[in-house]
A and B are shown apart, each in its own frame.
Chain A
Amino acid sequence: MFKIVYKRNLNDSVTLMEIQAPFIAKKALAGQFIIFRVDEMGERIPLTIADYDRDLGTITLIFQVVGKSTQQLAKLNTGDTILDVVGPLGLPTHTGEDVKSVCVVGGGVGCAIAYPQAKSLYKKGIKVDVIAGFRNKDIVILEDEFKKVSNELIITTDDGSYGIKGFVTNALKEQIENGKHYDLIIAIGPVIMMKFISELTKEYGIKTMVSLNPIMIDGTGMCGGCRVTVGGKIKYACVEGPDFDGHEVDFDELMNRNATYKEEEHSCKMTS
């Protein structure tokens, strides 16, 4: 049983939760995730660890309500418990020694996953620019938090209601065209966004890391459900990922596999 010690809705669809998980909090590193099960009937699904406090023994999850399980989780409040939480899973984000300047690109709730990456790099003394993209002003999240862990923060909204109008791909292209040099791009967000960012950066030859979100069940490498094709080879995202080289990932295959339970999800939400 894992107690929720703090809960805050960041906006209408995004929730932040701090959970008591002392063992996980002790070991968690940026890039890793947990798998949770709300209750006995629940599914096991992955969520990235957005932050952790080793002293307090808590981890922070920031998630968007997209399906039944996240819907159920969002309904819980401070003081409630989650039945099962396991982690830290996956490999921590690893950037090479020679990486001196990074642009972290977050799309939508992907920004919640981009945040720990930006924080970790910034703390190491690396130059960090953050481009955070949202559909509109109402769903902008973590702006203050990102300001504290970046040298430059650019917010984009599709409709221009806040920050710069346009997609993160345009904003990144402009940065590069205006002479900004990056050793590494980290892109986290909807699969299609990571695909387009990777295609863009490939033209400029800039190394790009993406954080993949395939469907998972166990998270330890025993089912192969999270398999992705990277550089023509099968890799399990839960064991060798979730970070991979964006220029090698078969994004179309991932998008196809992620759509597997669309029908079931729809009827599930209708009846819950």
Chain B
Amino acid sequence: MANMSLLKVPMPEQEPKVRATNFEEVTLGYSKSMAVEESKRCLDCKTKPCVAGCPVSVRIPEFIKEVTNENFEKAYEIITSTNGLPAVCGRVCPQETQCEGKCVRGIKGEPVAIGRLERFVADYIMENKPVKVEKPQSNGHKVAVVGAGPAGLTCAGDLAKLGYQVTIFEAFHVAGGVLMYGIPEFRLPKAIVQKEIQTLRELGVEIMTNMVIGKVLSVDEIIEMGYKAVFIGSGAGLPNFMGIEGEALRGVYSANEYLTRINLMKGYLSDYDTPVKAAKKVAVVGGGNVAMDAARSAKRMGAENVYIVYRRSEEELPARREEVHHAKEEGIEFLLLNNPIKINGDETGRVKSMECIKMELGEKDESGRRSPVEVKGSNFELELDTVIMSIGTSPNPLIRSTTEGLEVNRRGCLVVNEDMLTTKEAVYAGGDAVTGAATVILAMGAGKTAAKSIDEYISKN
């Protein structure tokens, strides 16, 4: 019996005032009955536009049907046949522009809550019926992966399933990339990330941490060690700064630094040594998911006022709708159509205020968004003690500067063909290292494509 409700089954959440003081997960997840009820909203329509909307082509209507039948193990099997990190994707994918954005139920009302259902299945299995992973027979070939982020983990997993012996070289002391250092605990619990990664280890993937490729080993040396192919998933970790006056004052951070201290180094817990400077009035410059994460983290770290300073309007905010909504609920103040001019310091060299100017939207630029233009004479001073620059990141130049034959475009991104092959033989790449900062799911899609290409390449040679 189909559920014709125009609205999704509501997701239980922590109260905004409560959750703004803790780092526990904001959304609590569907219960079994909620999931089953929501699954009945799917019409199992013929066209299935949701599947085409998914960067890794999860067989959505199929898994949803199994949820309705309460065959959660079967649902999990269907999801993981193409998506190796369902607990992650269910939480962080921008479903509104992907699967749910195409759902036919979304024409009249809300789309089916595909993301919430994916998360439910993943969590349910993880908790109740952990899957015993079978390590496949080795085919005798070694493949190296650089970077244990979403792209690298996915590529490694797919190759391991085909019998390849995969080693992932990870620069940090723990695997996960943005899943660990970028996305906060209250959106993506780290224990869940590590559980998903553990599944890969059970498949036989070797993860070597504390290995900065381009420093301790070069890509060429990796190939000399007998790896038949290399996949580069080194991400886009280099933070952008505005280049305005005062950016070197005490209290100015890149979002990467701020989030790494809190997420990766667990600076929000008092028994972890990494310090996070206490802040009362924080401005986060930027409007993407990272800016939302930084702002909401700052709130949880005890700031009284947290501002988002973004030069365009609400419509242009690149962040996931749910993040903007949650941020507002938690008391983050959105100062839209504003741009920083300079940061001022007090006598001790600490941030004191930031001079901003109001903006208005003009003609569309090359990204299709309307260009922000300064409103002359509208300068004002924002009293602050902390500024977090969250205006984007670019690929780290380390790999390309230490590997001969790798071409990059003018933004520093590795150039690849549709098989994810770079301009160097046997070297493939995907994820943010190729596209610039994007999403977890797109990186995973690239990892899948690369794994397929690497398999074809090695089989032929």
Which residues of A approach B to under 8 Å, CB–CB?
A: 23-24, 27, 37, 41-44, 68-69, 83-89, 217-218, 220-225, 227, 229, 234, 239, 250, 253, 256-257, 259-261, 264-265, 268
Contact = CB atoms under 8 A, between A and B. Distances in A.
A221 B260 contact: no
Nearest to A259: B250
B254 A223 contact: yes
Contacts of B266: 41
Give the one of A43, A86, A89, A256 with max B CB within 10 A. A86
Given A43-B265, A221-B238, A24 B172 contact: no
A81 B171 CA distance: 20
Given A27-B216, A224-B257, A264 B275 contact: yes
Give the one of B210, B248, B261, B277 with max A CB within 10 A. B210
B254 A23 contact: no
* Residues of B in contact with A, size category: 35 or more
B216 A44 contact: no
Contact of B265 (A217, A222, A224): A217
B216 A217 contact: no
A268 B274 CA distance: 10
Contacts of B211: 23, 86
A85 B210 contact: yes
B241 interface: yes
A10 B249 CA distance: 36
B248 A222 contact: no
Nearest to B259: A223
B423 interface: no
Nearest to A67: B273
Contact of A260 (B172, B217, B237, B277): B277
A225 B253 contact: yes
B412 to A, nearest CB: 12
Contacts of A234: 241, 243, 247-248
A86 B173 contact: yes
Given A44-B274, A220-B215, 20 more contacts: A23-B217, A37-B173, A86-B171, A86-B173, A88-B215, A88-B216, A217-B260, A218-B260, A223-B256, A223-B257, A223-B260, A224-B256, A256-B349, A257-B250, A259-B250, A260-B250, A260-B277, A261-B277, A264-B275, A268-B275
A68 B266 CA distance: 16
> 3 smallest A-B Cβ distances: which pairs?
A222-B237, A223-B257, A256-B349
Interface in B91-122: none
Nearest to A228: B248
A222 B173 contact: no
Instruction: Determine the main DSSP class of A at the interface with B.
Output: mixed
Contacts of A221: 237-238, 396-398
Instruction: Determine the main DSSP class of B at the interface with A.
Output: loop
Contact of B237 (A69, A86, A220): A220
A229 B239 CA distance: 16
A87 B215 contact: yes
B396 A220 contact: yes
Contact of A42 (B238, B273, B393): B273
A268 B267 CA distance: 13
A224 B277 contact: no
B361 interface: no
Interface in B256-312: 256-257, 260-261, 265-266, 271-275, 277
A87 B216 contact: yes
12 contacts: A27-B217, A41-B272, A41-B273, A43-B273, A44-B173, A86-B171, A217-B265, A220-B396, A221-B238, A222-B256, A239-B398, A256-B249
A44 to B, nearest CB: 7
Nearest to A86: B210
Contact of B238 (A69, A222, A253, A256): A222
A220 B212 contact: yes
Contacts of B217: 23, 27
A223 B398 CA distance: 14
A236 B46 CA distance: 54
A84 B210 contact: yes
Nearest to A225: B257
B274 A223 contact: no
Give the one of B248, B251, B272, B273 with max A CB within 10 A. B273
Contacts of A84: 173, 209-210
A268 B393 CA distance: 32
A38 to B, nearest CB: 9
A50 B210 CA distance: 20
A264 B209 contact: no
B400 to A, nearest CB: 13
B248 A253 contact: yes
Contact of A227 (B212, B248, B272, B349): B248
B248 A229 contact: yes
A136 B437 CA distance: 52
Nearest to B249: A256
Contacts of B253: 224-225
Nearest to B208: A23
Contacts of A260: 250-251, 277
B398 A220 contact: yes
Given A218-B260, A225-B257, A261 B215 contact: no
Interface string B375-386: 000000000000
A226 to B, nearest CB: 9
A84 B210 CA distance: 7
A244 to B, nearest CB: 15
A152 B140 CA distance: 58
A180 B239 CA distance: 45
Contacts of B248: 227, 229, 234, 250, 253, 257
Nearest to A89: B215
Contacts of B271: 41
